[in-house]
Amino acid sequence: MAVIFVPGKGRKPVAWAILSIFADKSKTVKFRTVVLLTLLILIADQGVKFWVKTHFYIGKEVNVMGSWFRLHFIENEGMAYGWKFGGDMGKMTLTLFRLFAVIFGTFYLQKIIRQGYHKGFIICATLIYAGAIGNLLDSMFYGLIFDNSDPYLQNTARLFPPHGYAGFLHGKVVDMLYFPIITDAHFPKWVPVWGGEDFEFFRPVFNIADASISLGVILILVFQKSFFQKKKQDFHSTVETSSTVNDEVQVS
């Protein structure tokens, strides 16, 4: 197992270090930490997307680690993992929703940092926030700064062409991460609806922004008891006395 060096504590497994972040309630997260984490995710997400857009034509696929981890370039007009949402009007609605979510997220992160929320929850909220920004940038600007990639001519998109492939707010989200760990399998015939059909895990193609959002949501669900544990109220015992209490009697 990989290890990291923690000053004064020797070497600890990476998994232990990650879990300790969500278990430790004593430390607070500063706003600059949230900004740094957001920037790191955005740089990674947009860097990979720019590289894929300018080096792959749509549909091109290369193996990264065997056949179970591939780069497979697709574009989608909808939500995470290629889910779609109702044509041009749906695309516009989804982009505006992402924009509203990012604006709301900015103020919400400031609030939970100020109020000293659990460190792990703030980090998870930051992962979701950064992922939302990553896909929002695609939707807002990619139609303006890229031209089309043609899978038939196998040409790659150009950056900053004379004319982009779509207008403002109508860009397509770039996906490329593909993990078909289980292939050439079939659902048993007794399975309702999908019985006998092909089965593949993991079928969706996604990007770093999608992964960041999913990781944040999953960690919140796993550690919700730690994140939202109510503070124990202090109960003070009362002193019972049979003595008369008035302005002239002192109770010790």
36-50 pLDDT, tens digit per residue, is 999 999 999 999 999
Closest by alpha carbon to 176, among 75, 41, 40? 75
116 C-beta neighbours (distance < 10 Å), count: 11
The pLDDT value recorded for residue 186 is 82
In this structure, which amino acid lies at residue 199?
A: F
The pLDDT value recorded for residue 234 is 45
The pLDDT value recorded for residue 232 is 47
Closest by alpha carbon to 132, among 162, 98, 166? 98
175 is catalytic: yes
Contact indicator for 1, 19 with CB cutoff of 8 Å: no
112 C-beta neighbours (distance < 10 Å), count: 16
The pLDDT value recorded for residue 191 is 83
For the chain, residues with pLDDT lower than 70 are 1-27, 78-88, 90, 230-252
The pLDDT value recorded for residue 2 is 43
The pLDDT value recorded for residue 250 is 54
Considering the candidates 138, 175, 198, 234, report the single residue annotated as catalytic.
Answer: 175
The pLDDT value recorded for residue 48 is 98
Rounded CA gap, 142 and 134, in Å? Answer: 11
210 is catalytic: yes
Considering the candidates 45, 138, 147, 210, report the single residue annotated as catalytic.
Answer: 210
According to DSSP, residue 199 is labeled E
Closest by alpha carbon to 120, among 233, 27, 3, 200? 27
At 89, list the tokens. 């009007």
